[in-house]
Structure 1
Amino acid sequence: MDTEPAALGRIRTVAHILDESVRVPGTTLRVGLDPIIGLLPVAGDVATAVCSLYIVAEAIRLGVPKRTLLRLLANIAVEMLFGSVPVVGDLFDAYWKTNVKNAELVAAAVSE
């Protein structure tokens, strides 16, 4: 049987890989696969948005309230919209960190 802590651990792992897995040399900035894959025009942003939907799927399995699910989806939509702008969008992806935000929203919702 799947447990809540295990699901939250998977969510945090996905968020870390997509948003914070690589430290930019000479800085304290961390980026993940999201802004890197996002360098591919349109396809990269679509691919990372699909990966971000994994967190939403886990949130649904955990019974997160619909209002929180809508916030998760809105964060992904904002990232996809702004992230699709060449160059500026990739910088936006590096700082916005949708998946980390969404992981925090899910954790807060299940702890209520």
Structure 2
Amino acid sequence: MEILGPEEMLTPEQEQALQQARALARLLDDQFQIAGFGVGLDGIIGLIPGVGDAFTTAMGAYHVSLANKLGMGWGTRMQMIGNLGLDFVIGLVPLLGDFLDFGFKSHRRNMRLIEKKLEKRGIRI
């Protein structure tokens, strides 16, 4: 994928990657409804000590990679990495961390960062 400049349109490949990123964020953060709350695989798999949080953090790296391919700046990518890192650390705390992990939706946050940057450039999404 090519880096996007201001006022450019997404290519079909970039649009597909953006849709995949949205679907991944939804799957990881709020695919299922439990008692009115959105719950995703991040919170569920995160119940497996260590391994679960590492797995979902690795999956979340897709959003950082996409941001890089779309030409998003270092600051945006570092913010995204910070969201993933915080999510990972929260998930490491037994029980309380698992509960908090359901509320801190790092993948949705990172998807919003991508969308805001594209909108700021005047790119229709």
Deviations 1:45-91 (A, max 9, x none): 11110011011111111111111000000000101111111111111
Residue 81 of structure 1 corresponds to which residue in structure 2?
Answer: 89
Structure 2 unaligned segments of length 5 or more: list them: 1-10, 121-125
C-alpha contact 1:65 1:109 (8 A) present in aligned 2: no
Displacement of 1:102: 0.5
Q: Determine the C-alpha separation between the residues in 2 that align with 1:3 and 1:46.
A: 28
Matched ranges for 1:17-32 at <5 A: 17-24=27-34, 27-32=35-40
Match of 2:48 among 24, 40, 54: 40
What secondary structure is seen at the aligned counterpart in 2 of 1:23? strand
Residue 123 of structure 2 corresponds to which residue in structure 1?
Answer: none
What secondary structure is seen at the aligned counterpart in 1 of 2:94? coil
- Aligned pair count reads 110
TM-score, length of structure 1 as denominator length: 0.92
Range that drifts further, 3-12 or 70-79: 3-12
Displacement of 1:3: 3.9
RMSD: 1.2
Q: Determine the C-alpha separation between the residues in 1 that align with 2:115 and 2:14.
A: 10
Displacement of 1:5: 2.8
Match of 1:10 among 9, 16, 20: 20
Displacement of 1:29: 0.2
Q: Determine the C-alpha separation between the residues in 1 that align with 2:36 and 2:64.
A: 29
Structure with greater Cα Rg: 2
How high is the sequence identity, in percent, across the aligned residues?
A: 31
Structure 1 unaligned segments of length 5 or more: list them: none
Structure with more helix by fraction: 1
Displacement of 1:2: 4.5
Letter in 2 for 1:11: A
